[in-house]
Amino acid sequence: MKILLAQQNYHIGNFEANTAKILEAIAAGKAAGADLVVCSELAVCGYPPRDFLEFNDFIEQAHAALDIIKAAADTIGVLVGCPSRNPEPKGKNLFNSAYLLYEKEIKGAAHKTLLPTYDIFDEYRYFEPAIAWNVLSFKGRKLAVTICEDIWNIGDDPLYRVCPMDELIGQQPDIMINLSASPFDYLHAAGRKDIVRQNVLKYRLPIVYCNTVGSQTEIVFDGGSLVMDAAGAIVAELPYFAEAMQLVDWEDGRMLSASAAADAQPNTTKIAATTEPTLTDASATTFGGNKGADYNIHEIHQALLLGIRDYFSKMGFTKAIVASSGGIDSAVVLALACEALGAAQVSALLLPSQYSTAHSVDDGVQLSVNLGNHYDIIPIKDVFETYEQALSPVFKDLPFNVAEENLQSRIRGAMVMALANKFGYILLNTSNKSELATGYGTLYGDMAGGLGVLGDLYKVQVYALARYINRHREIIPQNIIDKAPSAELRPGQKDSDSLPEYDVLDPILYQYIEGRKGPEEIIGMGFDRALVARILKLVNNNEYKRNQFCPIIRVSPKAFGIGRRVPIVGKYLS
């Protein structure tokens, strides 16, 4: 039997485009002589559809699209994810399902059993879990079809009380097939591969694992679909962060070979499968030694590019603007935006005040020259002084403080948003995770934007990413990387005036946010007690700011946003 994996980039609710992609995969499968095409979880409607699932019309459109796909599944089988209705009066109205289509008919369906309801996932809000499990028969073979989380309940500390494959294995299936929508984070890819292998070794069956690719607002799906033989050897591994198709030969329980799918027609997707890119030493990075985390800058770089690119393309946006300060964060965002969208589609706005250093302006200009993007310079000194004069009757003779500092940031926010509105730009926010965690940002000022590009990267990771961007040539001026970070809102200001050095701050933040460790646990790792107390209080007291922030491209295992639900008025550690 020949099986075609279709690793594709779907668009939530765009049934026409999603159906067209699936039909392309079917055409490619037919041209390659495939018996079965495997698509990913909820491919018909896109994942995660969230509250769209509560609209009857949305489900009707999904089923209408499924009918079109079914008509194309005449001489070839198709496994495709789509929501289905629960016919029973009890329970949720929908299942998260995988349909087996063949001979223009629905030959069977498998419903998802394990519904993740943690971090970014909220599936039990919408779906009823399966309570019966049956293999799907196709061309004399028994297919054990599962959906994403269904294969993750394995190991010494399972999250769920039931395991679908434990139920299916008694029916003597010939192969496991998993339709997945497994998101990227910089600790996840290796663990995902291990989970797939654990299933193979436990059940002594080969597996076809088809993951989706693409970005849906803040969530990035990295692909990396896999085929393993019954011994746990990888027969095929599809690219990361790219659409691809892969044809696999399977016979009598053995995976015989793998090859890229041939074109069936001019617009058919054809991307040769490759292994994970070879990485330079600079790509594998850690911060804080054993107090921090290992991460791969190449993967983060690719995830952010995909996140920017898909956000713009799926929203119908074309042009971006970045408030360029001559600092490291805005420099990295500008470089990423130009790479993702093209320099011609990106504009930079430099907004120096009387406290901005000349080299910051020069560095910002040189960055845009290196990138080839348009830039404008609008000094805000006169605007700021006008505000000071207008406020002087109320401010009286009170000393300069954070009010005047934030006023500069809000003037810049108003200026850059004015250009965004006038010329149809989307403002890319440049705040990093260290700043967002500690409240080192101004609401309605530098926290403005339509998409947070660096909001899930700590400051030390931003520096590592800058060095990676410069791996072939100097794009970000070296002075931007070398100089001490500063908001430049008063004379001689440095970030370290208000915050600990980032190589000390970031590992503590990581252990609290990603590691979910309490203060005593973090102190026990060797950190200063008073410093830990101060930092954790900053994190908790600034939840109200983060609650008003724009969507953040998620690259870590615990990002600010929908995956971290902390009370704003909670008393814990505050």
DSSP labels, 299-350 = HHHHHHHHHHHHHHHHHT--EEEEE--SSHHHHHHHHHHHHHH-GGGEEEEE
319-323/234-237 β-pairing = unpaired
DSSP 8-state secondary structure symbol assigned to residue 162: -
Other Cβ atoms within 10 Å of 571 Cβ, number:
7
Three-class HEC string of 91-152: CCCEEEEEEEEECCEEEEEEECCCCCCCCCCCHHHCECCCCCCCCEEECCEEEEEEEHHHHC
State both tokens at 564. 């971290």
Residue of 2, 21, 39, 41 marked catalytic: 41
> Using omega within 30 degrees of 0 as the cis cutoff, is the peptide bond preceding 48 cis?
yes
Looking up tokens 């009286």 gives 396
- Assess whether 148 carries a catalytic annotation: yes
> Bridge-partner residues for 96, per DSSP?
83
C-beta of residue 572 within 8 angstroms of C-beta of residue 541: no
Cα 204 to the center of its chain, rounded Å:
33
Which residues have C-beta within 8 Å of that of residue 545, sequence separation ≥ 6? 436, 439, 441, 443, 447
Using an 8 Å Cβ cutoff, are 363 and 329 in contact?
A: no
Which position has the token pair 């991307």? Answer: 271
148 contacts 177 by C-beta, under 8 angstroms: no
C-alpha dihedral sign at 196, 198, 200, 202: negative
Q: What are the tokens at 488? A: 């430049």
Return the closest-CA partner of residue 284 out of 294, 274, 292: 294
Amino acid at residue number 506:
D
Taking the C-alpha atoms of residue 170 and residue 231, their distance in angstroms, rounded to an integer, is 20
Please identify which of the residues 112, 433, 459, 558 carries the catalytic annotation. Answer: 112
- In this structure, the strands spanning 425-429 and 319-323 are parallel
Phi-psi region of 289 (alpha: psi -120 to 50; beta: other; left: phi over 0): left
**Distance from C-alpha of 196 to C-alpha of 201, rounded to nearest angstrom:** 9
Pairing between β-strand 451-452 and β-strand 293-296 as defined by DSSP bridges: unpaired
Set 39, 45, 148, 550: catalytic member: 148
Instruction: Spell out the SS3 assignment of 211-273.
Output: ECEEEECCEEEEECCEEECCCCCEEEECCECCCEEEEEEEECCEEEEEEECCCCCCCCCCCCC
Alpha-helical runs (H) found in 318-470: 328-341, 358-371, 381-395, 402-423, 433-438, 459-469
CA distances for 364 relative to 264, 341, 349, 445, angstroms? 48, 19, 9, 19
Q: Give the residue numbers marked as catalytic.
A: 41, 112, 148
